[in-house]
Structure 1
Amino acid sequence: MATPIDPALWPRLSAAFDAALDIPAEQREAWLAAQPEDIATPLRALLRAHDGAAELPAIVPPSLAQPGQRIGPYRLIERIGAGGMAEVWGAAQVTGPMAGRHVALKLPHPGQRLGERLRDEQALLLGMEHPHIARLYDAGEDDGQPWLALEWINGRPIHEALAGRPLRERLIAFLQVLDAVRHAHARLVLHADLKPANILVGNDGRVKLLDFGIARLLHSAGPRAFTPGAAAPEQQRGEALTVATDVWGLGGVLAALVPERHRALHAVIARAQAADPADRHADVEALAADIHGVLDHRPVSALPRSPGYRLACFLRRQRWPLLGAAALLLGTAAALWQADSARREARRAEAANSYLLDLFKTLDRRAPDAAQPEAALRRLLDERARRIDALLPTDPDTADELLRITATLHDYLGDARRSRALGERRYGLLKGRLGLGDARTQAAGLSLAWPLLAAQNAPAAGALLTELDGALPPHGLVRAEWWLAWHDLRQLQGADAAEREPLLRQALARYAADAPRDSGHAATWLALSELQAAAGRRDDALASVDRALALVVNAQPYIASDHARQLLHRASLVDAPTDEAQALQLLRGSTGLRAAFLRQPLRALIARRCAADATAAQALASEAGLPGCAAPR
């Protein structure tokens, strides 16, 4: 293990390091031999680290702090890290309204005085709020010791936490980092020390960027310092830092996340880490655009847009429509198999379209139930069930698709019992034919969980979710849905908020990583907001429902009734007549006001309106089929 470098040497060492980098490699050793011994030895260690031949030596003085010591309103618990500018302690707040809060307390080393700089920057840094930036809670000085209280994150560095995960998941997490950096750049704050060790993935799956603005704050208070392996060339030369400096650091983070060979991503990394800042991505937005290009199989700016490259991207984007042509061109068995799979998918889609069209074509106006279209549709669905049975032996894929559609239609018609029966049949058939490990079986099982929960059949829902738990992958959309369903089951079984909130957080982590635009993502934020509101945490509840509303408008699929429920819930937290009006408009254009899942939020809305305008409240109650205002006693 390398001997720690005395921080008192840093001003001289930093200047010598800059000078050494300007000397050709073949002349550097002779130059080093002429340096004072106290500088030459640590300088050699720094240069080896810079060249990637060794780890960065520690620049850490012995700690003067002790466990149990009070610093400001905090009591130190244990030392959790140290670097060239500061050491970090886990600490507990012991006074003030947030007593008991666990924080990471950063204690700059002697000489790293914050003084005027802290007062100048504190308001800016304290006001920087982003879901992927660890917050600076407080700052001060105690008997000459500056301190910074930061949000405590229990997690691992991003490259370790995501090692072995699918490439798409790693890139989505990296986009969260980019969004955090973009947020701070918009507020004229640079990080200047972006590296994997400063980006943690918490136990809840959320990415958190540490020290945003703190690095700049500490750098400015003493000698210029940096991490040699992660510092941009202009940083090492002592030049002014710009957005391009952080782009360089982000390129290094991406390289740690994507160690495998990937042509487009390696070109993106090379551009982000170009020696000349002018050759890098212009800003974080441009880097994010290249990452989205990789995810969407579109050309990236870091590669020349040759006709061959553009064609390769196009073929990847259009791989399903072009499978038949690919089979003819390539003549390989794999392509033929894929083409056959595509034909089966097309046959299923065509059968589904014909099925729905045929249903509505055969709604006979002369039939006895012609005046009751819902009853007529149920009758026709029952008649079509025999056709599905006939398809099962010869075309089980198409039969499965029609079973799914029929179950969904019965659900929309309010026939939960029939929908549930069809869902159970479909799940049983898929489990017997494909096994629990197949994605279609798992999706069918999760689809069945919701009607079981709606029917408050906790034993059946619990048995189903337990069975699925052993088969589902740990990541992906189906696991996100499983966590949400498991929360709903535990709520049905009477679990308290302390047990249920971590389940929702698990679901949110999976949605954010694997399916950020799925409609379930917004629905889970609403569930969390409802839980927080019931616990009296109004501010948290408002923040969560606002997250839901930000997601729902672009959700896939967009569900108007979900959007309306979120608006109604928000209106229950704050006086928001606009939200109420928009919610009612959405409901009148979709499910109407009499759906069972709307009774609770509409009752609350009617009660609020009774206090302001009893006549309007009574009219709304009549439309929704609910009791109106109670008569005065």
Structure 2
Amino acid sequence: MPEPIPAALWPRVSAAFDEALALGAAEREAWLAAQPDELAAPLRALLQAHDSEAALPDLPALEATAALASPGQHIGPYRLIERIGEGGMAEVWGAEQVDGPMAGRRVALKLPRPGQRLSERLGEERALLIGLEHPHIARLYDAGAEAAQPWLALEWVAGRPITDALAGQPLRSRLIAFLQVLDAVRHAHARLVLHADLKPGNILVGDDGRVKLLDFGIARLLHTAGPRAFTPGLAAPEQQRGETLTVAADVYGLGGVLAALVPPPERSRALAAVIARAQAHEPADRYADVDALASDIHRLLDHRPVAALPQARGYRLACVVRRQRWPLLGATALLVGTAAALWQADSARREARRAEAANAYLLDLFKTLDRRAPDAAQPEAALRRLLAQRMARIEATLPTDPDTADELLRITATLHDYLGEASRSRTLSERRYALLKQRLGLRHERTQYAGMGLVWPLLAEQDLPASAALLAELDKALPARGLLRAEWWLARHDLRMRQGAAAAEREALLRQALARYAADAPDDSGHAATWLALSELQAATGHRAEALAAVNQALAHVAHARPYIASDHARQLLHRASLVDAPQDEARALQLLRGSTGLRAAFLKQPLATLIARRCASDVAAAQALATEAGLPGCPAR
């Protein structure tokens, strides 16, 4: 089996391997003899492994030599337009669907080369891959064979390889785009699908900034597990050895993509350690899964210590200083700077204690959802009961550990908000804001966060005077920049919308919020929410093209938003489906909602009513079933 290939040789070996696969046996030997020594040895090993692989049983009809493809040729329900790429295993054509309900759809048609054998698992694997529905995965639409020519129809993606598209972009922008890639791979792994060929050329970025992964799992369709299903030089060592693959192989590939995105001169010590762990030679030494890698990328973005580096005291302190770099800058003496850094380190320890208590609180809360309890069949009711019981614990903690009690109070108020209990959330948020204002003052950041947290339940209860008064109070204390100011602009818009402001004023407020999010908090979930609000406003005023562009921006941000909120993602998908015919968006949105809030949350009434009305025009039975599930009126009598 081939040995791991030095990184410096990867591009040359990869290109040469594709070239060799296109040659006949006699031509290949002469071609190999002409190669430089450093390429010939790894190429011979790879080609030997390729040729000796034992495949699954073949479909006899696919053993014949397929005719060369040409523009205008019909293959299955598709008409070939132009060849857009080729490699050792397949050609890729731009094609148009000419038959069936999706006639006119543009696709990328992958045509495996003669001799590339498709196994009897084609139908099974096709069903598995077609089920991958994610905004950052180019979907496999269908697969089949005609006149001895197998074909795979994939979503058409216009864009450039991620390394080209992001060249020259700030490091933070590249890391945020990489999080989109991680989210897509995580989605597939959860459905037991490996990519097995992760590389920059399989990751495109469109003009709207959205990342799309290509060829997800296609290697599984073309080949069984083993040395053939990879790009030489980019694959994990165990993949090159032909061993059974796990998620560790994709983690290795993701490390290679990250290394390509960030050249060595731009890598901090922490980022270099992240790449090294992802690309460790032994699978056991890599990140355990994509979530673990994503966690370290988020830590990099937040200037927190990464798990890939030993947690030395000096490194932790340096991260604290970076997170607090603006307060520590200026003409301060060394002693003052050192004292500030030590104070920040102590603050970080207290933050860690609060976070640990919050995690334990949530874990204990959900572990206590007893299946034998009378309300076991109604998890929302059970959660409300348990939250009420936990208030006694918060009350007991307040005098002795107000910081931890404050964190638990925040979590409890947030959970009530997501349960649709604005009144209870308001009561808890008002208490928290008052306690912090009394103890820390209005100028303290934690007090300001609590104040912004109170705005939303006030608006949900339509208490516009109280909302206006609170926003005016916060306006005087908040800095002009930062996440809280972005949230303030968004909340100001929501208030003015409820007060009947004109569209022009509302758009100006939303664009103020977007400017702050883009500059100061691009990966916050509020960024995507603001794009959705702008899209809804533009759609309501008849600017359909602008609305579509804005909701696409929302969807480009939501996958890597912190925190990721499934119901927000679903609302964005439903809104886009209201602008264009996108049944896949509707299906994905309903899937997200059923796995999170359910379909009866108050904030879903409008988008689901719109969806039901659309379905009434085409499929009354489906519309009625959805209406029943959502607790909304069905189709009008005809």
- TM category (shorter chain) comes to 0.5 to 0.7
User: Counterpart in 1 of 2:491?
Assistant: 447
When residues 416 and 223 of structure 1 are mapped into structure 2, their CA distance, relative to the original with a 3 A threshold, is closer
- Backbone CA RMSD of aligned residues: 5.5
User: Counterpart in 1 of 2:273?
Assistant: 267
Give CA-to-partner distance per residue, 1:112-160, whole Å, 9 cap, x none: 2436464564444444445543222122233333221111122333344
User: Counterpart in 2 of 1:510?
Assistant: 557
Structure 1 residue 65, shift from structure 2 partner: 3.2
User: Counterpart in 1 of 2:103?
Assistant: 99
Structure 1 residue 455, shift from structure 2 partner: 3.2
Residue 40 in structure 1 maps to residue 33 in structure 2: yes
When residues 116 and 538 of structure 1 are mapped into structure 2, their CA distance, relative to the original with a 3 A threshold, is closer
Structure 1 residue 258, shift from structure 2 partner: 4.0
* Among 71, 78, 102, the residue aligned to 1:74: 78
When residues 288 and 159 of structure 1 are mapped into structure 2, their CA distance, relative to the original with a 3 A threshold, is farther
Alignment of 1:436-585 (within 5 A): 440-457=484-501, 458-466=503-511, 473=518, 475-477=522-524, 479-496=527-544, 500-517=547-564, 522-523=567-568, 525-526=570-571, 528-529=573-574, 532=577, 540-548=585-593, 550=595, 562=603, 575=625
Alignment of 1:147-158 (within 5 A): 147-158=151-162
User: Counterpart in 1 of 2:186?
Assistant: 179
Contact 1:529 1:542 in 2 (8 A): no
Structure 1 residue 105, shift from structure 2 partner: 0.6
Contact 2:452 2:487 in 1 (8 A): no
Structure 1 residue 254, shift from structure 2 partner: 3.0
Give CA-to-partner distance per residue, 1:477-536, whole Å, 9 cap, x none: 35424312211321332445x653442231122122233435xx6235225426636988
When residues 454 and 216 of structure 1 are mapped into structure 2, their CA distance, relative to the original with a 3 A threshold, is same
Percent identity between matched residues is 40
Q: Give distance in 1, aligned partners of 2:97 and 2:232.
A: 35
* Among 214, 220, 243, the residue aligned to 1:216: 220
Paired residue type of 2:550: L
Per the normalisation by structure 2, the TM-score is 0.60
When residues 110 and 579 of structure 1 are mapped into structure 2, their CA distance, relative to the original with a 3 A threshold, is closer
User: Counterpart in 2 of 1:242?
Assistant: 245
Contact 1:420 1:452 in 2 (8 A): no
Contact 2:194 2:250 in 1 (8 A): yes
Contact 1:201 1:207 in 2 (8 A): yes
Contact 2:185 2:195 in 1 (8 A): no
When residues 125 and 511 of structure 1 are mapped into structure 2, their CA distance, relative to the original with a 3 A threshold, is closer
SS of residue paired to 1:514: coil
Structure 1 residue 44, shift from structure 2 partner: 5.0
Structure 1 residue 75, shift from structure 2 partner: 1.6
* Among 143, 161, 173, the residue aligned to 1:139: 143
User: Counterpart in 1 of 2:375?
Assistant: none
Residue 416 in structure 1 maps to residue 422 in structure 2: no
* Among 16, 19, 24, the residue aligned to 1:5: 19
When residues 234 and 43 of structure 1 are mapped into structure 2, their CA distance, relative to the original with a 3 A threshold, is farther
Contact 1:501 1:528 in 2 (8 A): no
Q: Give distance in 1, aligned partners of 2:223 and 2:27.
A: 15
Give CA-to-partner distance per residue, 1:431-489, whole Å, 9 cap, x none: xx966x66554432222111222334223213333555666627443542431221132
Paired residue type of 1:39: L
Structure 1 residue 230, shift from structure 2 partner: 0.7
* Among 288, 292, 295, the residue aligned to 1:292: 295
Contact 2:452 2:484 in 1 (8 A): no
Structure 1 residue 94, shift from structure 2 partner: 0.7
SS of residue paired to 2:83: strand
Paired residue type of 2:533: A
Structure 1 residue 249, shift from structure 2 partner: 2.2
Per the normalisation by structure 1, the TM-score is 0.61
SS of residue paired to 1:149: strand
| Greater mean alpha carbon deviation, residues 315-324 or residues 528-537 | 315-324
Contact 2:196 2:249 in 1 (8 A): yes
Contact 1:424 1:448 in 2 (8 A): no
Paired residue type of 2:508: A
Q: Give distance in 2, aligned partners of 1:136 and 1:102.
A: 13
When residues 211 and 408 of structure 1 are mapped into structure 2, their CA distance, relative to the original with a 3 A threshold, is closer
> Gapped runs of 5+ residues in structure 2?
1-11, 44-66, 352-401, 407-422, 614-622
When residues 108 and 241 of structure 1 are mapped into structure 2, their CA distance, relative to the original with a 3 A threshold, is same
* Among 191, 201, 204, the residue aligned to 1:197: 201
User: Counterpart in 1 of 2:397?
Assistant: none
Paired residue type of 2:155: E
When residues 249 and 181 of structure 1 are mapped into structure 2, their CA distance, relative to the original with a 3 A threshold, is farther
SS of residue paired to 1:95: coil
User: Counterpart in 2 of 1:623?
Assistant: none
SS of residue paired to 1:65: coil
Residue 309 in structure 1 maps to residue 309 in structure 2: no
Q: Give distance in 2, aligned partners of 1:222 and 1:323.
A: 52
Q: Give distance in 1, aligned partners of 2:444 and 2:177.
A: 36
Contact 1:87 1:106 in 2 (8 A): yes
Contact 1:138 1:150 in 2 (8 A): yes
SS of residue paired to 2:34: helix
Q: Give distance in 1, aligned partners of 2:584 and 2:215.
A: 25
Paired residue type of 2:189: R
Structure 1 residue 92, shift from structure 2 partner: 0.9
User: Counterpart in 1 of 2:62?
Assistant: none
Of structures 1 and 2, the one scoring higher in RCO (CA 8 A, sep 6+) is 2
Q: Give distance in 2, aligned partners of 1:214 and 1:159.
A: 22
Q: Give distance in 2, aligned partners of 1:405 and 1:180.
A: 31
Paired residue type of 2:537: L
Contact 1:323 1:338 in 2 (8 A): no
SS of residue paired to 1:473: helix
Contact 2:226 2:244 in 1 (8 A): no
Structure 1 residue 546, shift from structure 2 partner: 3.2
Contact 2:612 2:627 in 1 (8 A): yes
SS of residue paired to 1:91: strand
SS of residue paired to 1:249: helix
Q: Which has the larger radius of gyration?
A: 1
When residues 338 and 139 of structure 1 are mapped into structure 2, their CA distance, relative to the original with a 3 A threshold, is same
Alignment of 1:54-93 (within 5 A): 64-93=68-97
SS of residue paired to 2:185: helix
Alignment of 1:357-368 (within 5 A): none
Structure 1 residue 84, shift from structure 2 partner: 1.4
Alignment of 1:312-351 (within 5 A): 312-313=315-316, 316=319, 331-333=335-337, 336=340
Structure 1 residue 95, shift from structure 2 partner: 0.8
Q: Give distance in 2, aligned partners of 1:286 and 1:298.
A: 19
SS of residue paired to 2:102: coil
Q: Give distance in 1, aligned partners of 2:316 and 2:601.
A: 35
SS of residue paired to 1:489: helix
Contact 2:160 2:206 in 1 (8 A): yes
Residue 112 in structure 1 maps to residue 116 in structure 2: yes
Contact 2:195 2:218 in 1 (8 A): yes
> Gapped runs of 5+ residues in structure 1?
15-35, 51-62, 354-372, 554-558, 581-601, 612-633
